[in-house]
Structure 1
Amino acid sequence: MKKLKNKKLSVILFAAAIATFVIILLLLQDNSPGEAELDIYFKASTAYENGNFDASVNLLSAVEKKCPDFYQARLLKGKALFFSGDSVSAATVFTDLLDDVKNYYEVEIWLLRCMIQDSSIGNSVDFGEQLLSRSPEDPRVLGMLGRISAVDGDYQRALELYKRAFLFEEELAINRVDAAKIYFTLMNTDAALAQLEKALELVSENSPLKPAVKSLILQTGASNEE
């Protein structure tokens, strides 16, 4: 009986040791961001917002190395690379992220932007249409597909896409500006002015787009008077 009790105790102790080992192993493998990584991330976010994209990329690379599962940091790194002009590297970040997180829609939106910038990355039309089939009224996708259509010379398709995007007040005013450019190309300056004035209403007072839109309105108005 005593031997049986000792055997049971040994089994229990062995199981407890295994459980402790597993817990320690999981703790050692924890890739969640700590306080230091979060601090670096916030510094990188500030650098990004201030337009210092190279500094942001460097900071976020350090975070990614320590915490590869910090997906928000990897997304921000890709965005910083995109705005620094390196669409190919940005696309690599986004593609790798999609390998880890399937159907990460926000990442797919940015990957589409990369494809539009550099056709070697992928077919922007096919990829954009796939996104649109999943989210038919996303103004970002509508706007990007509109720009693609405009570049291809399909102004009717472009305007149809822009008009669908206009239904959303939060849509970027740049869609209105792009539509105005098409109307101006078609010699319809009245329609171009109407789009620019609407764009002016959409942008905030602090937006860097506001003076640009005002300038376009003056130029279009002057052209209309001629």
Structure 2
Amino acid sequence: MIKKFSILLLCSLLFSCSNMNKAEIFYVKAVEAYSKKDFTAALNFSDLTIKNDSDFYQAKLLKAKILYFENSLEKSFLILKKLIKKYPEYTDARIWFIRVLLAQSKYDEAEKYLIKELSFNSGDCRVFYQYGNLCSKLNRMDERLSMYRKAEELLRENSKIYLELADVWLALGLKDRALDELDKAELLSDDKQTIKELKNYIKKIRY
């Protein structure tokens, strides 16, 4: 595990802005602003990313997330609907689409997508969590508890998700965000010592 992170760290250090196109540079700035909850800046940089690369689907998802948190649900819905139509394999977009449907109180439609998602993505704790949220809205308490328990079980089994997220943030040069993800991984992992060593290693990095 440490060896893997060492290689990735070296790659991230060698990955400079001079090797990135404009869209990628704007996207990194958008992600950084989003991580600081500066949604105005994040939205501006997302728009600049898309302007420079109309197929930059990650920036479109980020924009949809920002609009969700700004309560512009219909705009978020339209972006996500187009995303899942063009990129049906894009799991994050599908799950966020369900989340927006729930926020819009479109419960029947949300459940339809949740059932479909579970038919081929039953190992993703986020699906069960969103299903639990739906059951909460519909006052289906027994089913809600079952869904949340399943989500918790999968989350514990998949603490590696946080390691992967830390990897992504690190590749983007956002050390603090990577450490946040490792904190979460440490809480769930059975190998806490390894994660502590990774955190100490990352803290010593200077960009």
TM-score surpassing 0.5? yes
Give the number of aligned pairs: 142
For 2:22 and 2:88, the matched residues in 1 are separated by 28
Distance change in 2, residues 1:95/1:103 (3 Å) = same
For 1:121 and 1:78, the matched residues in 2 are separated by 20
- Amino acid in structure 2 at the alignment position of 1:93: I
TM-score normalized by structure 2? 0.62
SS of residue in 1 equivalent to 2:54: coil
- Superposition deviation, residue 67 in structure 1: 0.6
Which of residues 28, 31, 35 in structure 2 aligns to 1:49? 35
Which of residues 70, 79, 85 in structure 1 aligns to 2:71? 85
Taking the TM superposition and a 5 Å limit, the aligned residue runs for 1:138-153 are 138-153=124-139
- Amino acid in structure 1 at the alignment position of 2:91: Y
CA RMSD, aligned part only?
A: 2.4
TM-score normalized by structure 1? 0.57
For 2:137 and 2:95, the matched residues in 1 are separated by 19
- Amino acid in structure 1 at the alignment position of 2:35: E
For 1:51 and 1:140, the matched residues in 2 are separated by 22
For 1:99 and 1:167, the matched residues in 2 are separated by 31
Which of residues 65, 71, 76 in structure 1 aligns to 2:51? 65
- Superposition deviation, residue 103 in structure 1: 2.9
For 1:132 and 1:99, the matched residues in 2 are separated by 18
For 1:64 and 1:137, the matched residues in 2 are separated by 32
For 2:187 and 2:136, the matched residues in 1 are separated by 22
Paired-residue identity, %: 26
Q: Hey, which bits of structure 1, 4+ residues long, moved more than 3 A?
A: none
* Structure 2 counterpart of 1:94: 80
Distance change in 2, residues 1:202/1:124 (3 Å) = farther
SS of residue in 1 equivalent to 2:118: helix
Q: Is the 8 A contact 1:91 1:121 kept in 2?
A: no
Structure number with greater Rg is 1
Residue 23 of structure 2 corresponds to residue 37 of structure 1: yes
